[in-house]
Structure 1
Amino acid sequence: MNKELNEKTLLKEKTITSVEFDGEWYFKVSDVSTYLEEDLSDVETVSLPLKGGAIECATIDFLKAGRKKTERTEFDKKIIQALNYKPQRKK
């Protein structure tokens, strides 16, 4: 999960098809999957009639809930530990 997932970012992104329906934004799941470079097959979708056909869309909440969580490798854990390291200064 390299990119942060938030509604404002998705709305600004030109490559993602979005539509407002009943006060909520829906995003085309395949476009978001391509943008994030992630598998979003577990996202709960709704078929909406867009561009002459039914397109699988999801709200930002469903997209966040359906993102696959990947375990951090030991290397990633060590990098995060090093980035958060704050040495104590001796007085």
Structure 2
Amino acid sequence: MNLQDITEDILLKEPNVRSVDFEHEWYFVASDMNKRFMGAFNNVPGLPLPILVNGNRELLKCISFHDIQQQINFLAGKSDFERHINTALNFNPKKK
């Protein structure tokens, strides 16, 4: 799946991406998003939210769909090469 094809509904149906509704907004587990989309969301700020893991609640970093959309729009303005270099080097140009 291409990053530009991501919608909230698609993410909610994605079996490998856990989600939680917090204050009427969907949040997605950052580590799941990074595994599914090759680290594209490493530098997106998130909130620690309770997620059910093996029957226990754990606080995991989650990112809102709004923040996911902003990251996709930011990455869309970059070449594939630039995106891969930034991901590989864990570089966030927003934090210069």
Larger gyration radius, structure 1 or structure 2: 1
For Structure 1 versus Structure 2, the TM-score category normalised by the shorter chain is 0.5 to 0.7
Q: Which moved more, 1:49-58 or 1:31-40?
A: 31-40
As a proportion of its length, which structure holds more helix? 2
Instruction: Mark the runs of 5 or more structure 2 residues left unpaired by the alignment.
Output: 82-96
How far residue 37 of structure 1 moved from its aligned partner, in angstroms, is 2.2
Equivalent positions of 1:1-91 (< 5 A) are 2-3=2-3, 4-51=5-52, 52-67=57-72, 69=75, 70-72=78-80
How far residue 9 of structure 1 moved from its aligned partner, in angstroms, is 0.5
2:85 aligned partner: none
Could you state the TM-score of these two structures normalised by the residue count of structure 1?
Answer: 0.67
How far residue 72 of structure 1 moved from its aligned partner, in angstroms, is 4.7
Q: RMSD of the alignment, in Å?
A: 2.1
Q: Indicate the percent of aligned positions where both proteins have the same amino acid.
A: 27
Instruction: Mark the runs of 5 or more structure 1 residues left unpaired by the alignment.
Output: 74-91
CA distance in 2, matches of 1:8, 1:37: 20
